[in-house]
Chains A and B, each alone.
Chain A
Amino acid sequence: MIETFRTLFAPPRDLILVVAALWIGLALAEKRSERHGVSKDALNNIVFYSLFGYLIGGRILFALGHYSAFADSPLNLFSLNIDLFDSTSGIITVILVGVVYAKRQHLPLWRTLDALTLIFAFLAIGIHLSHLAAGTAFGSPTDLPWGIALWNATRHPTQIYELIASLIIFSLLWIRKIELSPGILFLNFAALTASARLFLEAFRGDSTLVFGGYRLVQVISWVVLASALAFKKSVFQKSKMG
């Protein structure tokens, strides 16, 4: 079944999974955006502009990094070749565009992040499905009976582990109906995601190692988790005083 799935969504068709997840996440987030004091229109616009920024920023910054190649063939700026793209630059552009738009529209920071949380959570599901399709984010070799054959070894199905974690996180966020202080929903998402990543990274076969064997992503996840918990504490204290 996994083979069929991987054949069906082999790159670049794995993009369909991410885009579909974004669409579904937006539809679900729209249902609850008013609860956070953010209008549906504002939510749609921030996602649209950010997505646009991702595509433009990722392509332009890639082109700037390979200036000589694009100077020879400027029409490549409009090429449909998705390899001519820098995801990191795209994500940075998303954040910049999102912040600028929110400021211009005077959107409250924490409430806006809460409104976007369901999108982030569902997008994570799409990204992990895309990893499964493309064979990226693969696991370390294992003898466990549920190992999958990938990249010349039987490996932990870390894409499936992460998919299950993201489904659980989304469900926890969705079923929570109690009014929370602004920011708590987003911080819960950040803390849960960081915790999941910290735990599951141990089973990855492609970890970047630092300082003699420590997994860089686990260190970053711990920092994110600590920050999220610290912010949560601060938000709780403010809400008590307020």
Chain B
Amino acid sequence: MKSGKLQLMVCIYAVLLFSCSQQQATESSLQFDAYQLPEARSISIAGNSNGELYLAYGMEHSLYVSRSIDAGRTFSDTVLATGNSQAHILPVEKPAIAVDDSNRVAVAWLELPPNFQGAGIWFAVSEDSGKTFNPPVLAATEDAGEVAMVQLAFDKDGHPLLAWINGSSLKFTRSFDGGRSFTEAERVGGGSCECCQPSIVVTPEDIFIAYRGLEAGGANGDIRDILLIHSNNGGESFEEPRRVSDTNWHIPACPIAGPSMVMNNGALFVAWMDGRFEPIGAFRRGDAWFASSNDGGKTFSTNVRINHDQDSHHTLPVIAIGPGGRIHVAWESLSQNGGANMLYYTSSDDNGTTFAPPEIVADNSDPSLGNPGKPVLFVDTLGNVTLAWLDRTGARLAIWNDPN
């Protein structure tokens, strides 16, 4: 061989290309304003087509709601939504909130008995855009078991639907009279992960619930994949669960991370965390994943990994759709080697086939703020993106405009 330089350069380029193929995150170029809200243990946001954005946050034993008409730049005075109820507020649960286009905003929560077994599932609705809330209604009662992770949605007529977890059962109830009374709670779907909040999407004809399943995995431990159930008769019955994640993720523990789901023009988009690349029984880190369905949830696309680096633990992805069909995703990332913990944001303009290199929205470089986490996301019809998260001081918001 005359000269090894060419071959050496090819080797070096190959290594460089491989290393660089994992695109690094960039500091956020998004222009946003960050607002801080009073100390909160948990937060949720929801909005409607009228440009209204609602923030629900839990403190001590109460849920509060406040309203914004400028995408979260300013909020109305907070209103206590839970009345005299002793709401069970857990930071691992997002407050259940639903909003429609007819001035209705509702919340749901759990109240635990003194022995902490079973729970009351409560519901309260405001019909004046959150200025006042009607007296709470007991939607369902669980006499026993570990109850958690309640979720809420409105149907097209403003009737609420509720889902929650009791042990490893996914339960469901709904109202046909605006929340004054509810049907008897039923178990739906297969086994459910005990600690992962489900996600509900309602269309005029359909109800979709995405949840983390719990299936026996034999000696390798439980399989906790993301599943979807569908009802086309108003929740009277649900079809057999369909698989959203295309892997069997064995994990004999609660990963404390449910899916996030939205719908746009008939297509369902789901984001979630799983640790499919980790050795069974040695779960140390997960990735944020995405899948879509164009046939009403019957089948889902090949899963796409949203995060680019595989060094940190990426979890709790949340998803929203912009007015032009752009998919927005935010998630939290926890370092595995003493580095920085981050809050990431990305987007996709091709229905989730590919995602842009992640942008860092927040990190834990300020010890007084701690780790940013538990993101929630909403995009209104004008393209105002509102991203909220929790840190040591409470809730923070980032707001920017993206008309896509």
Q: Which residues of A contact B (CB under 8 A)?
A: 3, 6-8, 10-13, 15-16, 19, 22-23, 26, 40-41, 44-45, 47-49, 51-52, 55, 80, 134-135, 150-152
Contact = CB atoms under 8 A, between A and B. Distances in A.
Given A3-B340, A3-B365, A134-B337, A47 B24 contact: no
Interface stretch (B3-11, B89-97, B173-181): B3-11
B254 interface: no
A19 B12 contact: yes
Interface in B169-208: none
Contact of B3 (A6, A11, A41): A41
B311 interface: yes
Interface of B: 1-5, 7-9, 11-12, 15-16, 18-20, 22, 24-25, 309, 311, 337-340, 365
Contacts of A3: 339-340, 365
The secondary-structure label for the interface of chain A is: helix
B11 A135 contact: no
Contacts of A52: 11
Nearest to A23: B12
A13 B17 CA distance: 10
Nearest to B360: A7
Contacts of A19: 12, 15-16, 19
B338 A135 contact: yes
B12 to A, nearest CB: 5
A152 B2 contact: no
Q: Which of A45, A55, A80, A135 has the most CB of B within 10 A?
A: A45
Contacts of A151: 338
Contacts of B365: 3
Given A16-B16, A16-B19, A16-B20, A48 B340 contact: no
Given A51-B11, A52-B11, A7 B16 contact: no
A150 B340 CA distance: 11
A17 to B, nearest CB: 10
10 contacts: A7-B24, A7-B25, A7-B339, A12-B19, A13-B20, A19-B12, A19-B15, A22-B12, A26-B8, A48-B5
6 closest A-B pairs by CB: A48-B4, A45-B4, A44-B4, A48-B8, A44-B5, A151-B338
Contact of B337 (A16, A47, A135): A135
A152 B16 CA distance: 31
A51 B4 CA distance: 11
A11 B339 CA distance: 11
Contacts of A41: 2-4
Contact of B8 (A13, A15, A47): A47
